[in-house]
């Protein structure tokens, strides 16, 4: 299930990258990088889980962990629906703010599920993913700040 949340975020970022490619190429590049990172995270999760099948099944049998991860996946799917519906009306600033919210939410989810994990390798993986979520949120926030500063009057328009 950890792999699925990473893949969900990656798929959303890939969609945003494709939709912004012609109009906002710099936004597209950022989201493409995020997509690749999430694919990598999913691969890490898949690898760790394949090595530690027993810990994966005990992890997935924990109702609280499943609920936390399911909530995050639903959150990302709901955002994807909004983006599909409002495609023509979403400004890059909105997309960046949405991505920050996703990364913060995923980081919080990873930290919450740590409480229910006893396997040391699974703990390392989840701790690593939570850290990566913070790195992504900071990268997106820094990009947003630079982007807003490059557009005269943008901060007045919001």
pLDDT tens profile 28-68: 999 999 999 999 988 887 877 776 654 555 555 677 777 88
At how many degrees (to 10) do helices 63-85 and 2-20 cross?
A: 10
Segment 111-148, tens digit of pLDDT: 888 877 777 878 888 899 899 999 999 999 999 999 88
Going 45 to 77 to 72 to 62, the CA torsion angle's sign is negative
Residue range of the domain that includes 18: 2-149
Question: Is residue 142 in a domain?
Answer: yes
Structural domain count, the chain: 1
115 or 10, higher pLDDT:
10
**Is the pTM of the predicted complex or chain greater than 0.85?**
no
Question: Is residue 156 in a domain?
Answer: no
In this prediction, residue 19 carries a pLDDT of 86
Non-local (6+) Cβ contacts of 14 within 8 A are: 31, 32, 35
In this prediction, residue 13 carries a pLDDT of 93
């Amino acid at each position: 299930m950890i792999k699925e949340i990473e893949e969900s975020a990656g798929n959303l970022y890939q969609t945003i990258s494709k939709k912004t490619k012609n109009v906002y190429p710099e936004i597209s590049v950022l989201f493409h990088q995020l997509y690749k990172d999430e694919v990598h995270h999913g691969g890490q999760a898949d690898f760790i889980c394949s090595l530690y099948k027993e810990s994966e099944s005990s992890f997935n049998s924990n109702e609280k962990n499943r609920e936390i991860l399911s909530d995050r996946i639903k959150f990302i799917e709901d955002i994807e629906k909004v983006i599909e519906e409002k495609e023509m009306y979403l400004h890059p600033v909105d997309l960046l703010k949405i991505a920050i919210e996703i990364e913060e939410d995923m980081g919080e989810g990873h930290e919450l599920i740590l409480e229910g994990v006893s396997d040391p390798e699974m703990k390392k993986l989840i701790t690593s993913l939570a850290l990566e979520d913070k790195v992504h949120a900071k990268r997106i926030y820094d990009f947003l700040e630079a982007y807003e500063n490059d557009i005269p009057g943008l901060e007045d328009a919001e």
